Chain A
Amino acid sequence: PSYDSMTEDRSIESPEHKRPYAEAQQLWLHADEATRDLTAGLSEQLRLILEPTLATKLRGDYKTGKRLNMKRIIPYIASQFRKDKIWMRRTKPSKREYQIMIAVDDSKSMSESNAVNIAFQSISMVSKALTQLESGQLAVAKFGTDAQIVHPFEKPFNTESGIQVFRKFLFDDTKTDVKNLVVKSLSVFSEARASGDSELWQLQIILSDGVCEDHSTLQRLVRKAREEKIMIVFVIIDCINDQESILDMNQVTYVPTVGGPPQLHVTKYLDSFPFEYYVVVHNIKELPDMLALILRQYFSEISSS
């Protein structure tokens, strides 16, 4: 399948801006080593959330089975033993299939805030943990001025894929267009869904320093994603420097007034953050629990709605 609007670069010797192979390899090995201990834990948490063991129920009307359905006994006798489907059997828990896209911010602000290490380690950890689960597909995307798939769903993920993905991340893009990312991702997901089955769960994990414009338009897009049953969770990689934390960042808005100049308001940046399910992470050790937290929250909210 080709994702028209989010095409993967398929050219062999791409003149595209990429990291040298050897450098990407080193980065992958470092990220891999740094996250080795954390990956198993994340994998287990994800297994519990993404593959719930459904209590096996006894169901159905069968000629043989595990347990008699008492309601069928009288009709059985009354029909001269013709209505003989009086047994119930255990049903197999239906296995959920999922598609998870990790979308990572490739803009320059990521390198300004030292989020690069955490981004690389996160890609390594999440991709390895998901690969261990073996019951879904993984894609990796990058975004900045534009959004691009750097590892498609159909391709299995291994060390070599990891290195190729790392080659594509330079963290020097001059814009952080999250709107564009969400729009394009929605079409990738809906295309993937069209050819899949209905039990397909689609999830996007966005990894970014969280600084983006136009929260109100984004809010509408997030709502649209939710309507299309696409889960989006946002992991904000915050800087270690206390004084520059996104938690304390403010923004300014100018509210029009009747017959006067617009009124200046200073508000907390995160108050208008358009992603309902988000966490703020300061170092890689926090990621497994934080990610599990928002995913669990998301699943429990949709199952109760």
Chain B
Amino acid sequence: MDPHQVKIKLVTRDQDQALHVAPNPLYVPVSLKRYGLSEILNHLLETESPVPFEFIIDGTILKGSLNDYLTSNGLSSEAFLTLEYTRAVLPPKFLASF
């Protein structure tokens, strides 16, 4: 495994305190996409059943992997990314297979 990692922090504007995670920075693989990040967040929040989350970095929704984001923005894994998370608004068929 080639463990290229990047430092991130997870923040939210959601009013629900139950969705607030501790501000500790996280060192994660750059290969992570929405699903993997959502899994980590659920783990940190100790949710009973998984809540799908969406991630916004600097105003844009993360569609691919963190590495895709870094590359398309001319950044390296030296960056410290702030990931704002919100409950994902997924089409019904997606929710069913989540």
- A174 on the interface (CB 8 Å rule)? yes
| Interface SS of chain B | mixed
Give A246's nearest chain B residue, CB to CB.
Answer: B25
Decide: A250 and B78 in contact? CB cutoff 8 A.
no
Query: Which residues of B1-29 have CB atoms within 8 Å of chain A's CB atoms?
Result: 3-5, 7, 9, 23-29
- Asked if B27 contacts A175 (CB within 8 A), the reply is no
B85 to chain A, nearest CB (A): 15
Residue contact B5 to A251, C-beta cutoff 8 Å:
yes
- Would you give the shortest CB distance from A242 to chain B, in whole angstroms? 9
A248 in contact with B3 (CB, 8 Å): no
- Asked if B87 lies at the interface with its beta carbon under 8 angstroms from chain A, I say no
State which of A77-85, A107-115, A219-227, A282-290 sits at the interface with chain B: A107-115
Q: Is there an interface contact between A213 and B76, defined as CB atoms closer than 8 Å?
A: no
B43 x A211 contact (CB < 8 A): no
**Interface membership of A3, Cβ < 8 A:** no
Interface residues contributed by chain B, number (CB under 8 Å): 21
A-chain residues with CB within 8 Å of residue B29 when the two chains form the complex: 252
B78 CB contacts on chain A under 8 angstroms: 107-109, 112, 173-176
The answer to whether A214 has its CB under 8 Å from any CB of chain B is yes
Interface residues of A (CB under 8 A from B): 107-109, 112-113, 173-176, 211, 213-214, 243-244, 246, 248-252, 264, 266, 269
Q: Which residues of B contact A (CB under 8 A)?
A: 3-5, 7, 9, 23-29, 39-40, 43-44, 76-80
The 4 closest A-B pairs by CB, nearest first: A174-B76, A108-B78, A251-B27, A109-B78
Interface CB pairs A-B, < 8 A, 5:
A112-B78, A211-B27, A244-B25, A251-B5, A251-B27
